[in-house]
Structure 1
């Protein structure tokens, strides 16, 4: 079956599609130490509250065992940990060694971390209550094996939550979003990197917005979740840009 890519190849960044994954991984390795600072600029300080609302909306709660895929520096995992409480557990997974090191530095030894890809999870079948993925769908290779793996590791009735930005539907808001995320954030990210690494931080945010602009529409993501065996996939949008996709394993 033809791969269902989250966006078409962007050869201006990495050349051939076969080079995409190692190129993206290396980019995150090089910018991991700046990522939390950049994310604060990106979200204008509202990211934590939004993530917490989306997690609650999806049904993440006390006592759950959660796998956070593409955990990065643990920005989403921190909110998950607060919601599941001491009776729950969170495991973070990411392909970037640099991001995992930054996550360990930020969160300490309390959260187990695994290095791996979302399309090939090193997790047993039916072993978690929820899978979360925060703003990394666009960096995956193929939505079909990704969602199939999510379904495999979830217990029956388990929850999947995917947070992702989508290209705004309205022309004016699209122009505003492009101005901020496509131009303003990359420029500020270079400053926020505080010297060395500023160019890489700017490149990361420019690439970030390119993937948003070319990402598959929400209907494709919802259909892929249903195809993978999830029931009643739904989408909640905020500001015509931030999307939260949730569904349950059949």
Structure 2
């Protein structure tokens, strides 16, 4: 009886996650209705909340796949509750990704759940565990862009369209960047089981710096321009134009309005 109760508790959705989801929903309603005229702040709360929700789902996907692959320890660690406070690296998993969004409009999940790899047998299982996170971002991106490529935007307020466009951009960048075969990112985790032991040992010391290195490289002007041109092209295929994405990011940085820095071309009312 005790074991069953503990197992259920390990998988019960955390009140912390439910609280974040509730704030996101209320903020989304405020963006849609233009409540109290605080559209920029509402967009900030909505996109940030939805981004954190997607981060939780990203890490949950890793943990859930690991559970079904043989690592039964993920439940006791709280990874199946969707509670961001239970992740191994809260700074890398939540704080830094949110800062990346605020500073550069870049969606990049960090390291998070600790998987006991020794419990899992089979290279394909290890690869699938790593791939589960980026695939979650892909699914999130499809949901965010669906109103655009389904041409279902009639009646949708401009502010909400812009917020969805910016959120979609974050999910697309997260899926692409985190799929790069760079130590510390999920893309490397996908190929790591297929590398020789010698190569894995040589690469291992660099894993903690992979995330920071990618973000630093993206600050190089030429790289940044080329990268976002590619993102704009991909979003264009999905029906989201660069103006919608740009206006979403402009509204997201609501504090710029106090200094008269927001683009008047992105006005929604």
Task: Return the TM-score normalized by structure 1.
Answer: 0.29
- Higher strand fraction (1 or 2): 1
Bigger fraction of residues in helix? 2
The normalised TM-score by structure 2 is 0.27
